[in-house]
């Protein structure tokens, strides 16, 4: 059944459409806190009907009434991906929950079987409002602005679970608007860029890796008339040099959003380039070894999803991202939490013997030396192999034609090794290997060390 035929759902949807997008501009911090408190109380009460939470909270001897608001959040234990995996599927929703009619958001990760979390239609509506809010910030009207969306429409993707399944049929009209062009990014890139160029979108949106393919093609003479007013990226780590390349090639600004399959939209960049958390949808914590850290310092990002029913997420550690909270507040007028930078996933970090975790953002700075010293984008791909805590191999694949332009590879390897050695210490063995071609499925990081025993002391960003 189309949920919009249900009057209560329709009412909630309309209410959400008129009140959600502007909430963070309308509310003061105090009002927002009240709103979060109320959402949390409702959420905890609901979580008590979900076996995985009920067991955890009973064991910790916490009653729902004790949680009066965000200030009490820390009384609750964390929930990990493994906790949810253990109780999945029946124990991660209330017994009365209709799983047939719900959406499954599949979360990956590098180890273990995928975990499927349940989302109800209301979660979808809230996620859509988050996207509409983001577009509004950039002066985009989702009903009028011409936009091309390059999506991953494979079965297990975020977009498929959110927008393309039967349950979300009520969202389909959004995608059939004349001003919106939706593509599967798995199409041949040269054909894809032609189709997008013909459509002449004002907004181009997609994963950073896909926009990057477009930028490389543009650099080589394709898509000459493809000049969107702005580009939105989401769903992947966007490092600063990659961003600069995209902005220079398209001669426009990139706005990145922080989104996860489990939670939907988390944060979006404002015009000042700071990430603002959708603080009415998500409550974030920035932690190190389960303790709060000072803003400005990198920490683990733990979230509570304040909206929707299905599988609740309260103090969920499963995102595994290292993030730095903004320390000196943005003045753009959006209330709620702010993020200075996102450094990548924990499972993509190098571990050092002294307890330091080297994030992806640091490694991207190292790789940017290739571009800085050669003035061409000649690195096709890279991969890190951590053989031991003190032995790290970096594999690089160069573009065949550009390999010898500018600084020669051997010299680049020396420069990068020296920079890493300086940071990691002299006792760490670091070496580079050149690869002819990577397998398409090659992971960014292959770790041969026992990560479960690692105690993290700090992050190298």
Q: Which residues contact 255 (CB under 8 A, 6 or more apart)?
A: 134, 138, 230, 231, 232, 233, 268, 269
If the CB atoms of residues 92 and 334 are measured against Zn ion, the closer one turns out to be 334
Buried/exposed code over 243-252 (b: 16+ C-beta within 10 A; e: otherwise): bebbeebbee
Please tell me whether the peptide bond between 306 and the residue prior to it is cis, using omega within 30 degrees of 0: no
Min. distance of Cβ 266 from Zn ion in angstroms?
Answer: 15
CB 304 within 8 A of CB 314: yes
Min. distance of Cβ 240 from Zn ion in angstroms?
Answer: 18
Min. distance of Cβ 337 from Zn ion in angstroms?
Answer: 11
Site string for Zn ion, 264-283 (x = CB under 5 A): ------x-x-x---------
Min. distance of Cβ 273 from Zn ion in angstroms?
Answer: 8
Min. distance of Cβ 390 from Zn ion in angstroms?
Answer: 42
If the CB atoms of residues 330 and 389 are measured against Zn ion, the closer one turns out to be 330
Q: Is 50 in the site for Zn ion (CB under 5 A)?
A: no
Phi and psi of 79, rounded to 5°?
A: -120, 130
Min. distance of Cβ 29 from Zn ion in angstroms?
Answer: 14
Q: Which residues contact 45 (CB under 8 A, 6 or more apart)?
A: 64
Of 70, 216, 326, 330, which lies in the binding site for Zn ion, with binding defined by CB under 5 A? 330
CB 97 within 8 A of CB 121: no
Distance (Å, whole) CA 134 – CA 140: 9
What is the 3-class SS of 260-326, one letter each residue?
A: ECCCEEEEEECCCCCEEECCCCEEEEEEECCEECCCCCEEEEEEEECCCCECCCCCECCCCEEEEEC
If the CB atoms of residues 284 and 310 are measured against Zn ion, the closer one turns out to be 284
CB 445 within 8 A of CB 349: yes
Size of the site for Zn ion (CB under 5 A): 5
CB 162 within 8 A of CB 168: yes
Q: Is 332 in the site for Zn ion (CB under 5 A)?
A: yes
If the CB atoms of residues 133 and 274 are measured against Zn ion, the closer one turns out to be 274
Site for Zn ion in 403-422 (CB under 5 A): none
The DSSP element (H or E) to which 93 belongs, if any, is none
If the CB atoms of residues 274 and 345 are measured against Zn ion, the closer one turns out to be 274
Alpha helices in 90-188 (DSSP H): 121-137, 158-159, 172-175
> Taking contact as CB under 5 A, which single stretch among the options 177-185, 296-304, 323-331, 372-380 is the one that binds Zn ion?
323-331
Min. distance of Cβ 340 from Zn ion in angstroms?
Answer: 11
If the CB atoms of residues 246 and 270 are measured against Zn ion, the closer one turns out to be 270
If the CB atoms of residues 24 and 420 are measured against Zn ion, the closer one turns out to be 24
Min. distance of Cβ 312 from Zn ion in angstroms?
Answer: 29
Q: Is 326 in the site for Zn ion (CB under 5 A)?
A: no
If the CB atoms of residues 10 and 330 are measured against Zn ion, the closer one turns out to be 330
Query: Rule CB under 5 A: which residues touch Zn ion?
Result: 270, 272, 274, 330, 332
């Amino acid at each position: 059944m189309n949920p919009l035929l249900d009057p209560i759902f329709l009412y909630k949807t309309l209410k959400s459409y008129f009140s959600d997008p502007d909430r963070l501009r309308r509310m003061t911090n105090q009002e927002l806190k009240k709103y979060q408190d109320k959402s949390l109380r409702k959420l905890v009460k609901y979580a008590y009907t979900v076996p995985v939470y009920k067991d955890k909270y009973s064991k910790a001897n916490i009653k729902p009434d004790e949680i009066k608001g965000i200030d009490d959040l820390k009384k609750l234990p964390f929930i990990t991906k493994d906790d949810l995996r253990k109780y999945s599927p029946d124990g991660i929703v209330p017994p009365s929950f209709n799983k047939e009619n719900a959406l499954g958001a599949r979360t990956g990760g590098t180890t273990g079987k995928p975990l499927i979390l349940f989302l109800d239609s209301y979660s979808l509506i809230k996620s859509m409002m988050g996207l509409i809010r983001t577009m509004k910030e950039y002066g985009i009207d989702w009903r009028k602005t011409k936009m091309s969306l390059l999506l991953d429409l494979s079965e297990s993707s975020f977009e498929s679970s959110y927008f393309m399944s039967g349950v979300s049929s009520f969202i389909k009209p959004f995608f059939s608007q004349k001003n919106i062009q939706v593509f599967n990014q798995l199409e041949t890139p040269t054909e894809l860029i032609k189709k997008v160029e013909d459509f002449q979108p004002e907004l181009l949106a997609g994963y950073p890796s896909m926009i990057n393919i477009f930028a490389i093609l543009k650099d080589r003479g394709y898509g000459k008339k493809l000049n969107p007013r702005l580009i939105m990226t989401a769903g992947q780590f966007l490092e600063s040099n990659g961003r600069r390349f995209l902005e220079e090639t398209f001669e426009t600004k990139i706005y990145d959003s922080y989104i996860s399959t489990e939670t939907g939209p988390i944060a979006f960049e404002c015009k000042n380039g700071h990430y603002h958390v959708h603080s009415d949808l998500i409550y974030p914590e920035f932690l190190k070894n389960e303790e709060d850290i000072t803003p400005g310092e990198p920490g683990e990002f733990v979230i509570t999803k304040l909206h929707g029913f299905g599988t609740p997420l309260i103090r969920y550690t499963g995102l595994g991202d290292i993030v730095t909270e903004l320390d000196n507040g943005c003045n753009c007028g959006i209330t709620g939490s702010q993020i200075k930078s996102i450094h990548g996933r924990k499972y993509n970090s190098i571990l050092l013997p002294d307890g330091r975790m080297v994030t992806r953002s640091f490694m991207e700075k190292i790789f940017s030396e290739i571009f800085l010293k050669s003035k061409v984008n000649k690195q096709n791909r890279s991969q890190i192999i951590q053989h031991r805590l003190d032995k790290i191999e970096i594999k690089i694949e160069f573009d065949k034609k550009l390999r010898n332009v500018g600084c020669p590879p051997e010299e680049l390897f020396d420069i990068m090794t020296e920079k890493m050695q300086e940071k990691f210490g002299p006792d760490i063995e670091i070496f580079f290997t050149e690869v002819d071609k990577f397998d398409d499925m090659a992971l960014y990081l292959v770790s041969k060390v026992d990560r479960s025993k690692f105690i993290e002391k700090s992050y190298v960003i």
